[in-house]
Amino acid sequence: MKPKTLLSEPGTVKEAVVWAVALILVLLALQSGRTWWRLRHIPGPFLASLTDLYRINWVWSKQAHLKLQQCHKRYGKVVRIGPNTVSFSDPAAVPTVYPMRAGIPKSNFYVTLRPYTSGQALHAVFNTTEEDLLKQIKPPIAPLFSVSSAATLEPLVDTVLECIHTRFDERFADKEQVFDMGQWLQFFAFDVMGSITFSKRYGFLDEGRDVGGMLGTIVDFMRAAAPMTQSYLLDKFLRKNIIADTIRRHIGATPSLTILAFVARAIKEKREALESGNESKAEAMHTDYLTRYLALQRSKPSIPQWAPTAWTFSNVIAGSDSVGTTMRTLLFNLLSYPHTLSKLQSELSAAGLSRPYPRYAEVRDLPYLDACVQEAIRVHPPFALPLERVVPPEGLSVLGTWLPGGSVVGGSPYVVNRDVGLYGEDAEFWRPERWLGVDAALRRDMENSMLTFGAGRRICLGRHVAFLEIKKLIPFLVLTYNIRLVDREKFETENSWFFFQRNFNTQIRKAGGIETL
């Protein structure tokens, strides 16, 4: 007779399975209870304290910024929005949560934004949460995005200005045709990024359409990723694994792979051009970012082989869409508040600018133009979900509220940028004048407290390039065309992490002002 074992008794096996499942459930319940208990002193929606699904539903609605704003109005400046997640609304917390020192890393929110392919996710400066890796890939490229380096890109921006000028005159000026200005501003931003990254435009302006479906692909990528940012485990289960990746490839639902394939082709072509001995071609491209990225990798063995791909991917995704969003916001609000447009026109006309394309040195420090740019990035930041950080093991006091180590805290650019204490009782509305006539210390606080480009040691590297593009395009448009806003009520927004805008319909004619219906 064989000796009895645990596996030889069917009833015993069933009991063992039941006890194992019960033990797992008990452990999960204890962990959930521990998490709930640690943040029990922080007010917020009760359901949010139990499950991240509450917050996922916010994001799924594409109106998470408004729901979070309402939440803060009801519960206060520090609100619990998840079992282990806290949001703040007061700009005074910005230096605490986003310091210049290391020690408060990004959360798994950013892990979900990594494109996934071949069993692994691609790190980038923006989405890496690992300090050692950040030291490898950020310092080498930081000087390339300084104020002085950004200014060297101006000739490349001018070539794209010439292109949009030609297309507007050919297609729309004096033709009474209604067109989506927002779409064309996006085309401009992407073609500029193509020029400064690859030394050639993508072709959006030339063809007047989304060439290769690149813009649509980015929208698809963000719509899929946005809800997952609220649950790292759900993202890992549904998206970041071999099975899910295989299924996506089979059905063709691979927006991140489409973008990565484009980047891979561009890098291959650039390497071939630089290694072919064709000096004239290489010389023509020497100022672009990809050439500089490849040179950095060759000169510094410590830089990972995949770094140029990651840097270039960031240029394609965030570097273009965020600038286009700010351009749309600025121009749409100038049209919606004509008195502010008149002030800008007066300033530009009196400045004696080069025509038709003002030099950056001429417009960079114009007070009212700068106020309009600051107001645009304040009222409609390109990214509109909380920028999450992990509280260090020793804990952290945020606005007088104690957060235990390991909890997650963040502020939404949309919410923080509307703080009435710092930006005034009318912070909900467009008013560039709020940036003028204030003392230097207050102006500095207003700028440093905005979360549009992030804050602290992880602030966006590309902000100076963004200002270059915006401050060159907007004066050109204002001085060259009358722009007529059509069907303003059809303009709409969508928060899918990227804060998308649609239906910015206009008519234009050659002149020197802007009109609104």
Binding residues for heme, by number, are 460
* SS3 call for 142: helix
Half-sphere exposure of 506 (CA within 13 A, CB side): 30
**What are 79's two structure tokens?**
């609100």
Computed on alpha carbons and rounded to an integer, the radius of gyration of the chain in Å comes to: 25
Least Cα distance to 415 among 388, 443, 444, 450 occurs for 450
Q: Is 118 helix (H, G, I), strand (E, B) or coil?
A: coil
Q: What is the DSSP letter of 77?
A: S
Q: Which of 281, 465, 285 is nearest to 364 (CA)?
A: 465
Length of the chain: 517
Alpha-carbon distances of 166 from 204, 259, 360, 502, 509, rounded to whole Å? 13, 28, 21, 24, 13
Distance CA 92, CA 249 (A): 46
Q: Which helix (H) or strand (E) holds 301?
A: none
DSSP designation for 223: H
DSSP class per residue in 441-486: HHHHHHHHH--BTB-GGG--TTHHHHHHHHHHHHHHHHHHEEEEE-
Please state the residue numbers annotated as binding site.
460
Burial of 380 (0-12, 13-18, 19+ CB in 10 A): buried
Which H helix or E strand runs over 101?
none
Determine which helix (DSSP H) or strand (DSSP E) holds 109, and give its type and residue range: none
Element of type H or E holding 88: strand 85-88
| CA–CA separation, 252 and 4 (whole Å) | 53
User: Residue with structure tokens 């038709």?
Assistant: 356
CB 111 within 8 A of CB 259: no
Can you read off the two tokens belonging to residue 83? 């079992």
Evaluate the CA torsion angle 96, 63, 464, 329 in order and state its sign.
negative
